[in-house]
Each structure stands twice: as C-alpha cells, then as structure tokens.
Structure 1
Amino acid sequence: MSKKKKTIDELFEEALVPEENQPYEVPENWVWAKLGYIFKQRKGQIQPTGNEMYVGLEHMNKGGGILEVGNAEGIKSKKVVFKKNDVLYGKLRPYLNKHAQVEFDGVASTDILVYYNKNIMTNKLLNMYLGLPQVLQYANENSNGINLPRVSPKAMDNMAFPLPPFNEQKRIAEKVERLLNKIEEAKQLIEEAKETFELRRAAILDKAFRGELTRKWREENSSIESALERIELIKQERFYIAETKREISEITEMFDELNTEECIDNNDWLYLKANMFCYNINCGGTPSKDISEEGEIPFLKVYNIVNNKVSFSYKPQYIPKEVHKSKLKKSILKANDVIMNIVGPPLKKIAIIPEEYYEMNMNQAIVRFRPIKYVLPKYLYYCLQYDETLRDVINETRGVVGQSNISVSQSRNLIMPIPSLEEQAEIVNK
C-alpha cells in the first residue's frame, strides 16, 4: 500500500518550530523553522583525485571563516563534496562552533556538515547564525558519543532557525557585513595604535633609564649624596636584613666582586645586581593539596598578572594561613612587592602587589623582588619593564629550544641602575 502523500499545509506545519520551543521572539513577518526544511545537506562523497581543494576541521576558524585551504593530494578516504556558497559546519566537539561559507568548490572532511540553499543570501544568514552562542549550546546539548562527542545531522536538521522574508534577508546580510567590516577596520587601527604605543613606551623607558629624562633635575640638585656614599648605605642595609648565613655569604661575594669604578656611570648612578638592593629574591611553590577556590591567603599564578597589574579576580585561588606561614614562608608577598613571571611564554609579565592586599603568596612560576628602603618599588617596577634589564637573559632563553624560563639565580643577578631616592622619585613621576 502506497504511503499517503502529505499536503502542503501538513509539510508547512512540520517545518515550523512550535511556539514553546522558539528560542526568542522574532518580528511578525518572520518564522521559526527547522533548519532541515530550509537547507539541504550534501550527502555525496567522492574519492579525491588529489587536485581538489580540501577543507578539514583544522582549516576552519572558530569565529567563522577558512584559515587556510588544504589540498586533497594523498587523501585515501572518501570526502564530502561541496559547492561555492555552501555553508560548512564542524559537527565534532570541540569544533562545534567552526563554520564558514565557502567561495570555491571542493571536498570536506566527513566531520563537516555541508548545507546549501539555492538562495545565496539565505546561506549567508545561516553562516552568521551558526556563530551565535545559542547554536553552540544546542549542538552541545544534542551531542552524543564518549571519546569524540558529535552532533548528528538529524539533530542539526531539527534546530530552530529564524527565517525573515527574502528582501529583509538581503538587508540584514548587507548591514551585518558592513558592521563586521567596520569592526575589522577598528581592529586594524587598534593594532596599529598598540604598535605605536609600544614603540613610544619603549622610547620613554629608554630615556628614563639612560638618565635623559632627569638630566636637568640632576643639574639643579647636585647636593644629593654621591654614588660612593649611596653604595655604603645600601650595603649596610642589605647586610642588616640578611636572614641566613648562606645569604650573608652570597651577598658578601657580590659586594666583594663589585668594582666601584666600573659600577658608577657619568650620571653618578650605581649599577648593582638585584639581590644587592632587594630582600633575598625567591620564587614560590605549589602545595597542590592545599589550594582551593576559597580560603584565607590569596595565591597568585601567572595568569593573575594582566597588563602589568595584579588581577586576582580572574580565577582566584587561596591557601591556608598555616601553609602560608610554614611551607611557603619564603614566598610571602606584601603590598608594594614587585613580582615577575619566570616561566613563559610570554615572559616579562611584571606587577606590583596592590596595597589592598596585606599579604599574598605565589607559585613557582613567579619571582618576588622586595627592594630595601633605598630603592622605590615603583622605580624597580619600571626598571624591570625596560628592555635592557632583561635583554641578555631573554636572549639566553631564546637560544634553548623549547625553553622559556628564567631562573631565580638569573633574577638575583639582574643588573639595574640605582640613582638617589630623590631622582628615582623624579623618574617615576615623569
């Protein structure tokens, strides 16, 4: 017995999404329809000859579009055929939000669904729609499989799609494209401005730490203590705060090796190793069993250093006060301590501990600089950002394949210029 053919009204009702399942309200002249009734899926597969343009999940961008086009040469398995203006959608997690409207014929991985409508403008709307968060949520909720979850073609066919009248489709697509183009133009301008900003910033730091910004100030303030007097003050203070015999031995060796003629420049600035004017420089540790999302002492990780500032609100973690005072005693952080990441990439993430945090701690990827009273924390903060300070260490790091680390020892031996406190303050202000 032949199957009864459905009427136009029955097919129309099947194609529409019931009101209770509609994601949000649309204008009266729009309809929520099931994707499979508006777009067809290309099912045809061929064995590539090797000359076809090939798109795999690795060639697609999560934000939409094709990153690059592959070549089917050497591919032995069959692939899905697609045509110019078709819409591709990655059905395999974690590639569910990869989508693109293609501008060429070719073949695609079988983990990519290929949709088409004879109306190119409708295809454009689909490609834009596939980038929305609700589509990703729908695909995630309707995925199955354990090792490599994927959304089925049938589930995607049943997904709700907001369909405007044809003329309105065209206006929407054109307006969205104009706005997206403006965003791309704005991105380009921002990148150019960032490049200019970084160059100018580097130039200011270079002038600051070569003494050019404060040349006139020095001429007007010649009565400040000499570099030789300054070195004695720093030396006395550094030995006074030393905590262990080993530390005393290390700083004794540093000061004994210091050549006073070579460490003083024409600006009457001292050039000293960081451990000569800081409390003993240390990195932190990671007591994995004691870290939690709630607790007593804030525990910093490298991702908490954003734009050279502490951003503890991002993925905050804590450790118990007992661990802070015992196992991680050497890496206690106080307000105005200067920190720097020593594990990258990228390196040179530097910040000052804000005054609202009385105490913090840090993991092993961060090193702490706590200057003695003859060096301003803000001065040290800027000095560490100056390219010359870390240039040699960074170059050594680049020379080792697969490595992007600075050791604690290298951090202690960083050489920095130390003018008088008054001039440091003037440099910071400028």
Structure 2
Amino acid sequence: MSKKKKTIEELLEETLVSEEKQLYEIPENWIWLSLKNSLNSIQYGYTETSSLQAIGPKFLRITDIQNDKVDWSAVPYCKITEKEFAKYKLEDNDIVVARTGATTGKSYLIDKPPMSVFASYLIRLRCNDIMFPRFLWEFMKSPVYWKQITVVKKGSAQPGANAQILGNLSVPLPPLQEQKRITEKVEGLLGKIEEAKQLIEEAKETFELRRAAILDKAFRGELTKKWRQQNLSVDSAAQRLEMIKKERFQIAETKREVSEIIEMFDELNIVECINNNDWLYIKANMFCYNINCGGTPSKDISEEGEIPFLKVYNIVNNKVDFSYKPQYIPKEVHKSKLKKSMLRPNDVIMNIVGPPLKKIAIIPEEYSEMNMNQAIVRFRPIKYVLPKYLYYCLQYDETLRDVINKTRGVVGQSNISVSQSRNLVMPIPSIEEQAEIVSKLEEMIKREEIVLSLVSDEKNLDELKQSILSKAFRGELGTNDPSEESAIELLKEVLQEQVK
C-alpha cells in the first residue's frame, strides 16, 4: 500500500513558522518559514583521510576563506572518488557555514568555484527556487541570524552551527523580486560602510605620519627656531651641562651609581654633544634619576590592594589606563622588594618588552604612588628636563631607532634592555625652550586628534551596519512593493511539485 501524499495545506503547515514562533512583524506579502524548507540540501563536508594531492578537485577548508574571499590558487587538491565528488561538489551560489572554531556560524557565498569539494568542518547550504542565495547570505550576517544560533553556555554567549540548528532557523521570506532588491540595496549600503572604514584607516595612517612629522620638526628645532632668535638670554649648552652634571651627582644613591655617572660624563665630548641649535645631546641616565625596570612579586599581586601595579597592557594610546584589569601590591612590598621601581606623578614610563615596543606614558596626578612590572622602565627627569618634554622625545622615531633596529636583527627578540634605555641619547635645549616645544606640540597634536575623531568613529559604523541588516529583514528599507504577489504563492508553486 503506497504512502498517502500530503496536501498543499498540510505541507504549508509544516513549512511555515507558527505565529507564536515568529520573531517580529513583517510586511503582509512576506512569510516566516524554517530555513530547511527553502533549501535543496544541507550537507556536512568531506573528511580528507589521505594526504593532499598535487592534482584533483580543490579541497576548501575554513582557513582558506578570508574576508569573504577564497584564493583558489592557494587551496590544496584532494584525492576523492567520483561518487564522493558528486556528493561534496561545490557549485556557484552554494553557501558554506563554519561549524567549529572562532568563526563558528560565519557564512560564505561560493562564487564561480573551480572543480572543488568542501571540508568536514563546513556545512553546505544549497537554496531551492524560493530563496535567492545572496539574500540568504546577507540574512546570515544580520543580528536576527546570530541571535538564533547563539546560546549561553557557562556564563558566556557562544554561537553554535550544525545542520539541525541551521535547518530550524526562522527566516523572513519576501517575494523573490523583493529579495533581489533588498540584496542589491544592502550590498550597496554595506559597500559604502566598508569604503568609509577604509577611509578611516587611511585617516589614521595619515594622522600617524603627520604626528611623526610634527615630532620630527620639534626635535630638530624647527618649531622653535623663531623663538630661539627672540630669546638669546637663556643659558648656554655648556652652562646647562654643568648644572645637569652637578644635579645628577647630588641625587646619586650608591657609590656604584656615582662611578657610572663619572664614567658617562668623562666620556662625553663637549664639542660633539652640542649642535647648531645650542642643544645638548646626552644620555638619558645623565639627566634622569637612575633608570630602572620593575619586578614581578607574583605571590603578592592581587586584584585588590594598596599600591596600583602597572603592566604593559595598562599603557593605552600613550596614556595610563589603570581601569583595565587593575592589579595591586601591598605597601610593604612597594617600599621594600620593589623600592627601586616606585612610581610617582610625572614619571615617564616605557615598555621594554614587545611587540609592540614604544608604548610610553606619564604617571597621572591622580595616583600618588604606583609600581610596575619588569617589562616597564621608569624615567624620572631631574629639574632641568620637563617630564612632558621627555615624554614626547621618547615618542620621536629617532630616539629609539637604533635600539629598535638592533632588536629586529635578533630572531625572536623584541626587547629593549635597561642598559639600552639608560644610554638613549636625547636633545636637551634650555628648560624654557622645552616648555615652548611642549606647548607647540600639544597644540598641534590636539588639532590633529580633533580632526581624526571627526572621521574615525568605527563603532558607529558597525552599529549602522547592524541597523541596516536589521531593517532589511523587517521590510524597512523602502524597497517592498505591497502589490507584488505574496511569497506564499511562490512557496505553494514549489510545494505543488511535491504533491504531483
């Protein structure tokens, strides 16, 4: 006895999403249906058991898909039987979905592939006649898609993607022509957002180049050339050197440090260390308190405590950000084991372990005392050097160029030693000119930052992208034509084939 075929009404009831499970209101000529009913197939990929071949079908893996594109020339070949190839073959407009790893749930539209199959960690979706593939692909980027496949596990939200989860997705389905209009409008709008993001990246690169150019002018004396001509009464470089030398000996704490200072100043060539701007060029440890790095008393570090304990991740955009993963040490440890790395307001710090290097900050006034780990060094200038001047000088490319070039010459190394930090040579003009340089730098950099902030709000662009996708699948992009035949009529035509 043959099995009785279902009627159109029965098939519609199985295909359409019940009213109580519909996620939101949609236009009258749209319908809600389960994704599996708009697909010809949902297929897990092929498990490659032999070594990849030099010839045969291409074997598409998750790692071969980058930024919604596949470089087919880099995709390896695989050995597969004719029967298996027919089962796992990729065709134009197939959609593959990652079902594992960091990209779980992310979908990719296959565009004119060569002879190829797909790996087991992908799921292939092949649409039937009621679903425009590019419409489905855009839907799978939208918040309504991600909300349906994301579940909370062990306190965190994690996407999950398998044939059952994907097949049971509730999808809003407009008439076929409306699907195409939505797709075209969404792709156009998202394309403009991507263009805006590219412009933002270019603006950031331009900002960094302009900032570097401003620093270069500052520390070659160009920004204050006119100022020097109008202020000839400031101390000379030779006088400045004697004052710095006297002060440096007065603050030395140990006999060893005194010996090192004597050696540094004895080796100094007074003629070679003064340039045409009447600036001194001397080592950092000659105009700073002894330069030291911190330590890591692991047993004494906690999330609550008395003394803020800085790590490299607390240096963000050349500022101290202690709100991010703050850690503390007891005051007793601060004043004993880590006495040499105590920090106070206006100390300048720099990371010496990377990548990246050249993260520099000034300790803000809000913290009367801080300390730091071994990946950071402290520069505390004497009274003849302004902290802000030193802060900007360390950001100047030429200051660290030689040291960083040396680190690049050693495989696997991206560190600066304390000794190298002490021996950094920097230009020291009069303290009055230092103040003028800082003032001009801050004015110019602030102006650049204001311009950058006007164009670089990527967060708003991402929110706009999600808003566009949300509106698209609610019928709110202004493309819907209410007079068009309802999507349910198209669905009936497809189902009619099943009852013949």
Q: For residues 7 and 338 of structure 1, what CA distance do their matches in structure 2 show?
A: 79
Describe the shift of the 1:323–1:142 C-alpha distance in structure 2 as closer, same or farther (beyond 3 A).
closer
- 2:282/2:428 contact within 8 Å kept: yes
Q: Give the letter aligned to residue 385 of structure 2.
A: V
Q: Any residues of structure 2 matched to 1:27-426 within 5 Å, and which?
A: 27=27, 29-39=29-39, 40-42=41-43, 50-61=55-66, 65-66=68-69, 68-69=71-72, 70-73=74-77, 80-105=88-113, 106-118=116-128, 122-132=132-142, 135-136=145-146, 138-139=148-149, 141=151, 151-426=161-436
Moved more, 120-129 or 167-176: 120-129
Aligned residues: 423
* SS of the residue 2:370 aligns to: strand
- 2:98/2:161 contact within 8 Å kept: no
* SS of the residue 1:169 aligns to: helix
- 2:45/2:119 contact within 8 Å kept: no
Q: How far apart are 1:82 and its partner, in Å?
A: 1.5
Describe the shift of the 1:169–1:317 C-alpha distance in structure 2 as closer, same or farther (beyond 3 A).
farther
* SS of the residue 2:89 aligns to: strand
- 1:121/1:173 contact within 8 Å kept: no
* SS of the residue 1:334 aligns to: coil
- Counterpart for residue 146 of structure 1: none
Q: For residues 15 and 255 of structure 2, what CA distance do their matches in structure 1 show?
A: 82
- 1:44/1:81 contact within 8 Å kept: no
Q: Give the letter aligned to residue 141 of structure 2.
A: G
- Counterpart for residue 8 of structure 1: 8
Describe the shift of the 1:129–1:353 C-alpha distance in structure 2 as closer, same or farther (beyond 3 A).
farther
Q: For residues 319 and 189 of structure 1, what CA distance do their matches in structure 2 show?
A: 44
Moved more, 131-140 or 194-203: 131-140
Q: Give the letter aligned to residue 38 of structure 2.
A: I
Q: How far apart are 1:155 and its partner, in Å?
A: 2.5
Describe the shift of the 1:110–1:233 C-alpha distance in structure 2 as closer, same or farther (beyond 3 A).
same
Q: For residues 248 and 322 of structure 1, what CA distance do their matches in structure 2 show?
A: 28
Once the two structures are superposed, residues 319-355 of structure 1 have per-residue CA deviations (whole angstroms, 9 ceiling, x without a partner) of: 3333333333322222222121212222112222222
Structure 1 stretches of at least 4 aligned residues deviating more than 6 Å after TM superposition: 46-49, 76-79
**What TM-score do the two structures reach when normalised by structure 1?**
0.88
Q: How far apart are 1:138 and its partner, in Å?
A: 5.0
Once the two structures are superposed, residues 284-330 of structure 1 have per-residue CA deviations (whole angstroms, 9 ceiling, x without a partner) of: 22333443444433332222222222233333333333333333332
Q: How far apart are 1:74 and its partner, in Å?
A: 5.1
- 1:51/1:71 contact within 8 Å kept: no
Q: For residues 301 and 32 of structure 2, what CA distance do their matches in structure 1 show?
A: 48
When the two chains are superposed, the root-mean-square deviation of aligned CA atoms in Å is: 2.9
Once the two structures are superposed, residues 105-140 of structure 1 have per-residue CA deviations (whole angstroms, 9 ceiling, x without a partner) of: 332111100112145963223322333466556545
Q: For residues 214 and 241 of structure 1, what CA distance do their matches in structure 2 show?
A: 31
Q: Give the letter aligned to residue 329 of structure 1.
A: K
- 2:46/2:118 contact within 8 Å kept: no
Q: Give the letter aligned to residue 301 of structure 1.
A: K
Q: How far apart are 1:196 and its partner, in Å?
A: 2.7
Identity %: 65
Q: For residues 45 and 269 of structure 2, what CA distance do their matches in structure 1 show?
A: 79
Q: Give the letter aligned to residue 93 of structure 1.
A: G
Q: For residues 85 and 312 of structure 1, what CA distance do their matches in structure 2 show?
A: 49
Once the two structures are superposed, residues 60-110 of structure 1 have per-residue CA deviations (whole angstroms, 9 ceiling, x without a partner) of: 24xx51253333335579673221111111101223043211112332111
**What TM-score do the two structures reach when normalised by structure 2?**
0.76
Q: For residues 111 and 406 of structure 2, what CA distance do their matches in structure 1 show?
A: 46
* SS of the residue 2:346 aligns to: coil
Q: Please identify the structure whose Cα radius of gyration is greater.
A: 2
* SS of the residue 1:423 aligns to: helix
Q: How far apart are 1:13 and its partner, in Å?
A: 3.3
Moved more, 12-21 or 97-106: 12-21
Moved more, 417-426 or 77-86: 77-86
Once the two structures are superposed, residues 202-231 of structure 1 have per-residue CA deviations (whole angstroms, 9 ceiling, x without a partner) of: 222112111121111111111111112111
Extract unaligned runs of 5+ from structure 2: 154-158, 441-500
Once the two structures are superposed, residues 162-219 of structure 1 have per-residue CA deviations (whole angstroms, 9 ceiling, x without a partner) of: 3333333223212221121112211222233233322222222112111121111111
Moved more, 344-353 or 5-14: 5-14
* SS of the residue 2:436 aligns to: helix
- 1:97/1:131 contact within 8 Å kept: no
Q: For residues 327 and 125 of structure 1, what CA distance do their matches in structure 2 show?
A: 63
* SS of the residue 2:398 aligns to: helix
Describe the shift of the 1:294–1:157 C-alpha distance in structure 2 as closer, same or farther (beyond 3 A).
farther
Q: Give the letter aligned to residue 36 of structure 2.
A: G
* SS of the residue 1:154 aligns to: helix
* SS of the residue 1:212 aligns to: coil
Q: For residues 225 and 245 of structure 2, what CA distance do their matches in structure 1 show?
A: 26
Q: How far apart are 1:412 and its partner, in Å?
A: 0.8
Once the two structures are superposed, residues 405-428 of structure 1 have per-residue CA deviations (whole angstroms, 9 ceiling, x without a partner) of: 111111111000001100001111
Task: Determine which structure has the larger helix proportion and give its number.
Answer: 2
